[in-house]
Chain A
Amino acid sequence: MIGPLIPMGVIPETWNNVIALLLGVGFGFALEASGFSSSRKIMGTFFGYDFVVLRVFFTAAITAMTGIFYFDYMGWMDMSMLYINPYYVMSAIIGGIIMGFGFALGGFCPGTSFTGVAIGKIDAMVFSGGLFVGVFIFSELYPLFQGLYNSHNLGGAKIYDLLGMRATVFAFLLIVAAVGMFYGAAFVEKKVKKVDY
């Protein structure tokens, strides 16, 4: 079966929402079981007492990336059919910085806050409520942000093209960097005073 299955017509569109629900269950389970329903565990990455976010995030990214490259190489999936978020340089950077600010105050990102909500964390519920308010504020003030939001569109640019590298070389370097960070994280964790949470 050549993927991606739904765009290729292998699985009919009607299954889309059922599949969304099932994949969501896997996503939520992996997040919660790893400890992402706790804001203080998540924030450990920034203070060095618990690098679970770094480990899970980068392991997930390189696992999925390797699978995609492998399936593309074997001819089991057409990578060029995958959706790539367009790269609007300014709004990607500014949006990321605003999200980082929110992260430091709230201790969650949207996906992790939903798993917190699921197990009864009241701080996660308040954070999730804030997300709705934030999206509403952005939408209402959109005329103010419109210029910035739409500036410097590089389309579905790939990082390796911008860096002038071959895709596989960049992928390999990313894996090496991730493994390096895993060793670095273990080293730092040993040095940093334990935080009880």
Chain B
Amino acid sequence: MAKNKRDGTFHINPYLGGVLLGLVLFSTYYITGRGLGASGAVKSSVVSAVHTVAPVHALDNKYYSKFLSEDTSPMSNWLVFEVIGVMVGGFLSGTLYGRLKFKVEHSPKITSRTRLIAALVGGILFGVGSQFARGCTSGAALSGMAVLSASGIVTMMAIFGSAYLFSWIFKKLWI
């Protein structure tokens, strides 16, 4: 490899990345009996925060109360630890390949401000959608596909199909 691996432009071969990710996912199933996830950690944090600030309201709400039980705090959720690991792993890779830098990444056709507004709205929508689908691209789609669950395959097709359609509508944000 002639290219400098530490200048931030190097990425591992995508098929190697896929096999690595697949082995991590397989190990997760083999060890814990469940798949990977990401949005679940956000849900646990929100439930925990609301429960701390407004305990009565949290117990009254039929959604929060699903995830609140007397003996375990929602923050002790498996996915919260896993997501802390994701950040550590991302940081290690970013360090190794020279990508640590504070910046707003956006298309030259839009300003940083536009990019951040779109990112915020996108995040909000992803947060809402992941609750409907009982998981996101990791927990519902990828983990679901590995065990050939109907929900996993259907959610995967809905996410990518809709993202494909909407990305052309918002083409200017990207290219």
The secondary-structure label for the interface of chain B is: helix
Given A25-B88, A86-B151, residue A64 in contact with residue B125 (CB < 8 A): no
CB contacts (< 8 Å) of B20 on chain A: these are 26, 29-30, 33
- The answer on a CB contact under 8 Å between B83 and A114 is yes
Number of A-B contacts (CB under 8 A): 546
Q: How far is the CA of A110 from the CA of B2 in the complex (A)?
A: 34
CB contacts (< 8 Å) of B61 on chain A: these are 139-140, 142
Say yes or no for A73: interface residue by CB 8 A criterion: no
- The answer on a CB contact under 8 Å between A105 and B158 is no
- The answer on a CB contact under 8 Å between B136 and A139 is no
- The answer on a CB contact under 8 Å between B34 and A110 is no
Q: How far is the CA of A89 from the CA of B149 in the complex (A)?
A: 12
Contact of B126 among A99, A140, A142 (CB under 8 A): A99
**Residue from the set A33, A55, A71, A108 with the largest chain B CB neighbour count within 10 Å:** A33
Given A30-B24, A33-B97, residue A131 in contact with residue B126 (CB < 8 A): yes
Say yes or no for A85: interface residue by CB 8 A criterion: yes
Contact of A85 among B84, B97, B102, B134 (CB under 8 A): B134
Say yes or no for A6: interface residue by CB 8 A criterion: yes
- The answer on a CB contact under 8 Å between A99 and B101 is no
Given A96-B129, A119-B101, residue A106 in contact with residue B118 (CB < 8 A): yes
Q: Output the least CB separation between A165 and chain B (Å).
A: 10
- The answer on a CB contact under 8 Å between B125 and A106 is yes
- The answer on a CB contact under 8 Å between B126 and A60 is no
- The answer on a CB contact under 8 Å between A157 and B149 is yes
- The answer on a CB contact under 8 Å between A157 and B46 is no
**Can you identify 30 A-B contacts, CB atoms within 8 angstroms?**
A3-B29, A20-B79, A23-B36, A32-B92, A32-B94, A63-B26, A65-B148, A82-B33, A85-B144, A87-B151, A92-B154, A95-B134, A96-B140, A97-B161, A98-B128, A98-B162, A105-B170, A106-B119, A111-B136, A113-B123, A114-B38, A118-B86, A122-B104, A123-B119, A130-B123, A131-B130, A133-B124, A134-B126, A138-B63, A139-B47
Given contacts A3-B29, A27-B21, A60-B22, 10 further A-B contacts (CB under 8 A): A28-B92, A56-B21, A59-B22, A60-B25, A62-B22, A92-B132, A101-B163, A130-B125, A131-B42, A145-B132
Closest 8 CB pairs of A and B: A134-B127, A24-B85, A130-B123, A106-B122, A96-B158, A59-B18, A63-B22, A100-B162
- Give the interface of A toward B (CB within 8 A): 3-7, 11, 16-35, 37-41, 43, 46-47, 49, 51-52, 55-65, 67-68, 71, 77, 79, 81-89, 91-124, 126-140, 142-143, 145-146, 148-149, 154, 156-162, 167, 170-171, 174, 182, 195, 197
